[in-house]
Amino acid sequence: MAEAATQTHTEQHDEKVSRVRSSYSRPVFMQELTLHSLQAQRVVDRSLSRVSYSLFSLDVILQVIGKRDQVDQVEEVVSGLINEGATTLDNGIAQLQARLKEHGYESLPQYTNPKQQTIEISSPNVAKFARLISKLDTVISLLDTLWLHGLVTSKQRTNAAQDWQQFLNKLASRIIGVEKQARIAAHREGKQDEVNQAAPETEEHDLDREAAALSESTVDEKAHEAEPAKTQAAASA
């Protein structure tokens, strides 16, 4: 019941975001993404729409604020989070590939229910976040390959997969936290109405609550500090 309620809430949030976006003429392109693993599919279902709207909103807010130093600071924080996330995922991929190569395995498994996802790319950072999801899908595929060949236990596989999924959801929450801070900055500049007209705040999402819980951390905290330790252990065992 709780899962169904969460799904309904997420769907309602996505519908509202879609209505807000459709009110303005914006440059976008549509990207087709095939996701094989359940974990990557879950990140899309839970985080993609909300974090995409945050990234779109940040572009709007920064244009409204218009102060070069503030714009540069926020852009640096967001780019840093995404780049650190990409580095962490790339490192995970390299470690898992090395473990497979050590045992003479290269082929990845097929999946029984891959999901085709159409993503609206409304900003460069949305495209970068979509690539993070693809990298997560690769990590899980490699992890599943290790498991199918008996190189990690079922418990190791389950724990590591959950860690990686949470890693990317937490990264999304941090990006949302940056958006919220930018809205506060716009409010201090007396530009809240202008921001809300172009990029209204949405109804609270689970990720908004997580972003609030993370607000005590500094905005420049490195994403790799949350790197899933269990996958590293599995890769190096």
Cα 234 from Cα 228, distance rounded (Å): 10
Domain ranges for the chain: 45-236
Question: In sequence order, which residues have a C-beta less than 8 Å from that of residue 64 and are 6 or more positions away?
Answer: 186, 191, 194, 195, 198
**Per-residue pLDDT for 118 more than 50?**
yes
Q: Among the listed ranges 43-52, 62-71, 99-108, 174-183, which one has the minimum average pLDDT value?
A: 62-71
pLDDT in tens, 150-204: 999 999 999 999 999 999 999 999 999 999 888 888 888 888 888 888 788 776 6
**Per-residue pLDDT for 231 more than 90?**
no
- Greater confidence, 219 or 198? 198
The percentage of the chain sitting over the pLDDT mark of 70, rounded to a whole number, equals 75
Q: What is the pLDDT of residue 229?
A: 54
Please give the full DSSP string across the chain, using - where no structure is assigned.
Answer: -HHHHHHHHHHHHHHHHHHHHHTS----EEEEEEE-SHHHHHHIIIIIHHHHHHHHHHHHHHHHH--HHHHHHHHHHHHHHHHHHHHHHHHHHHHHHHHHHHTT--PPPP-SS-EEEEEEE-SHHHHHHHHHHHHHHHHHHHHHHHHHTTSS-HHHHHHHHHHHHHHHHHHHHHHHHHHHHHHHHHHHTT-HHHHHHHSPPPPP-HHHHHHHHTTTS-TT--GGGG--HHHHHHHH-
Q: What is the pLDDT of residue 196?
A: 82
- For 21-48, what is the mean pLDDT? 88
Tell me the two tokens of residue 184. Answer: 């506060």
Yes or no: say if 44 and 35 are a contact pair by the CB < 8 Å rule: yes
- For 122-141, what is the mean pLDDT? 96
Cα 210 from Cα 214, distance rounded (Å): 6
Task: Write phi, then psi, for 90 (nearest 5 degrees).
Answer: -60, -40
Burial 33-43 (b: 16+ CB within 10 A, else e): bebbbebbbbb
Please give the model's pTM, rounded to 2 decimal places. Answer: 0.80
**Per-residue pLDDT for 135 more than 90?**
yes
Which residues on adjacent β-strands are paired with residue 118?
32
**Per-residue pLDDT for 115 more than 50?**
yes
